Structure 1
Amino acid sequence: MADNDKAPARFKDLALDAADHQALADWWCEAIGYERGPTDDGGTRPLDEPVPIVDRDGDGPLIWINPVPDKGRAKSHMHFDVWGDPDRLVALGATVVRERDEEIEWHVLADPEGNEFCVFV
């Protein structure tokens, strides 16, 4: 199958936004039998960074518990992260919320109903 015949995105992982992301990561680990994921270098993850949690058995998806500053915003607190081509997704009807830049390594798009999702190239 040619690259153009493939879907413009594929599932990467889940992301859950939280006011207290450290506590929520611990709660979800306890609730679903996950554990905090290791850092790339085996060190300690800074407390203000997102917390990856992983299935102990390796069966479930990676879940990122992300810190967000404002609890009362109107956006959904759960969103998809996908590997994909932002331009092709926009051509399908997504809108650009925020381009990849020096602060973030992904594009933020919204589906036709306004649900935001992150696209990693």
Structure 2
Amino acid sequence: MTAQFKDLALDANDHQALADWWCAALGYVRRDSVTGDERPVDWPVPIVDPAGRGPLIWLNPVPEPKTAKNRMHLDVFGDPEELAALGATLLRARGGDVEWDLMADPEGNEFCVFTPQ
């Protein structure tokens, strides 16, 4: 084996706010709320699926804004209208041969939204 999947990581200017946004969008919680750890506010924020089904996601603080299309993104099952109400932006609606909506989180990170199974 050359490599084994570990975690996902998203860069953010306001990593604290974006961690809260993704927690609300995915039903995740901050890992530290589960473990009781305390981290300095300028450290990356780990968020987890409390049911243990989804991957650990790190929200990493970076000084630069997002300037180009993501080369890697998240795919989620969900309701685009509910995600938009949380602050996501619809970039392209599903239609034709495209079976998903393309959205962006509040900092512009693209993700695809599929109809729940």
Q: TM class, shorter-chain normalised?
A: 0.5 to 0.7
TM-aligned CA distance change 1:33 to 1:75, over 3 Å: same
Instruction: Tell me how large the CA RMSD over aligned residues is.
Output: 2.7
State TM-score, norm by structure 1.
Answer: 0.52
Query: Greater relative contact order (Cα 8 A, min sep 6): structure 1 or 2?
Result: 1
CA deviation after TM superposition for structure 1 residue 32, in Å: 0.5
Point out 4+ residue stretches in structure 1 off by more than 4 angstroms.
Answer: 72-79
Q: Which runs of 5+ in 1 are unaligned?
A: 1-6, 80-121
Give the gaps of 5 or more residues in structure 2: 74-117
Give aligned pairs, total: 73
The match for 1:49 among 35, 43, 54 is 43
CA–CA separation in structure 1 for the residues paired with 2:17 and 2:60: 11
Structure possessing the higher radius of gyration over alpha carbons: 1
Identity within the alignment, %: 65
Q: Do the aligned residues in 2 keep the contact of 1:18 with 1:67 (CA within 8 Å)? A: yes
TM-score (norm 2): 0.54
Give the one of 26, 37, 45 matched to 1:32. 26
